[in-house]
Amino acid sequence: MTIRPVKTAVFPVGGQGTRFLPATKAVPKELLPVVDRPLLQYAVDEALAAGIERMVFVTARGKNALEDYFDVAGELVASLKAKGKTAELAVLETTQLSPGQIAYVRQQEPAGLGHAVWCARHIVGDDAFAVLLPDELLWNPANPALAAMHDVYRQRGGNVISVLEVPDEHTNRYGIVTPGAIDGLVTEVKGLVEKPKAGTAPSRLAAIGRYILQPEVMTILSAGKRGAGNEIQLTDAMAELIGVQPFHALTFTGTRFDCGDKAGHITANIALALERDDVGPAVREWLKAQVI
């Protein structure tokens, strides 16, 4: 079995972010901050920690701010230098990627996650690749989600997805795994179903927005088959690889924040703020005062 290296990550950021209107009228959801870093920055940091070298953003109309964010802010840098603001300059440096490390592709219609991934097919080429949904903030600085998946991939090859157990009543919101053999945190994937109807889910193991996939998934997506919600579903395309290629799910160990949802985003801000030396004490004090 050839284990193709994973050097490219695809970030589908073409969604409309309707749950965050009116903010997302002007600001892409992926640039909403958690404390002071945009959601997308957390996902890029996670990709870098997993050894990813090339980032592909699948964007859409109205998302130009994403390109500006990753560009060098020449005037800002000059002004910070002139004012001797070295701490702020250092923060900017932590966000800077090399020239050519990022590519942008437009998803011309919001036809679903599978369609967004397929838009990156020419850049991905014949390599295995990662997909990260930035609105899923998977927080585990000691063992970031994609790096842990990459370790599993190096041993087992094929396709690896990140999963978490969700409550029964939430299974109809996710891609759900039919589990096979279990080896610690790694579960063999025997089947996948997108948003199963209440009471029909094969398990409570839900896909949570991190994938390492073989390029053959692009060929399957090329058929443009519509699934749940009349969208081209990544889950349906992945399901066709089961039995053809190795397919495993790694249970995420850490805290997951669904930042595509308002409550999840607020919780992420509070949780990550509490971990920080600069804002943590003030936030903790305020929170304590709220507890009746």
Query: Which residues contact ligand UTP by CB under 6 A?
Result: 12-19, 29, 58, 107, 110-113, 115-116, 133, 135, 260
Is the preceding peptide bond at 22 cis, omega within 30 degrees of 0? yes
Residue nearest ligand UTP, CB atom distance: 15
CB of 260 to ligand UTP, least distance (A): 4
Nearest one of 25, 43, 30, 16 to 69, comparing CA atoms: 30
Residue number with CB closer to ligand UTP (13 or 138): 13
CB of 194 to ligand UTP, least distance (A): 11
Residue number with CB closer to ligand UTP (16 or 95): 16
Q: In this structure, are strands 6-12 and 128-132 parallel, antiparallel, or unpaired?
A: parallel
CB of 41 to ligand UTP, least distance (A): 14
Query: How far apart are the C-alpha atoms of 40 and 22, rounded to whole Å?
Result: 19
Q: Which residues contact 169 (CB under 8 A, 6 or more apart)?
A: 198
Residue number with CB closer to ligand UTP (17 or 157): 17
CB of 241 to ligand UTP, least distance (A): 20
Cα-to-chain-centroid distance, residue 189? 20
Query: How far apart are the C-alpha atoms of 189 and 137, rounded to whole Å?
Result: 23
Residue number with CB closer to ligand UTP (18 or 290): 18
3-class SS of residue 91: helix
Residue number with CB closer to ligand UTP (107 or 162): 107
Report the amino acid identity of residue 279.
Answer: V
CB of 110 to ligand UTP, least distance (A): 4
